[in-house]
Amino acid sequence: MARVVVIGIEGEDELWVADLDAKTVHSLPAPKTGSLKVVTDLRATGSTVTKGVDLAVTVKSTEAAFSGHYDG
């Protein structure tokens, strides 16, 4: 199973790639071609694109996440 996730936060243009096995997160240059370019273009129009993720929420801090809170 893939353990790398591309993340985009609503209201921000930047994308992030999280490698869960390596425990790293890095900014991802905006794609210029390919399928990721297609979905980032959809995202720019307000669409939400998910594939292979069954939970994703924003939180104000890591402390909030570890205490069981999220911005819902």
Task: Indicate if the pLDDT at residue 70 is higher than 90.
Answer: no
Report how far Cα 50 is from the mean position of its chain's Cα atoms.
9
**Ramachandran sector of residue 65 (left: φ over 0; alpha: ψ -120 to 50; beta: rest):** alpha
pLDDT at 68 over 90: no
pLDDT at 1 over 80: no
Average pLDDT over residues 43-72: 88
Average pLDDT over residues 34-60: 93
The pTM score is 0.82
DSSP 20: T
pLDDT digits (tens, 9 = 90+) for 2-45: 799 999 999 999 999 999 999 999 999 999 999 999 999 999 99
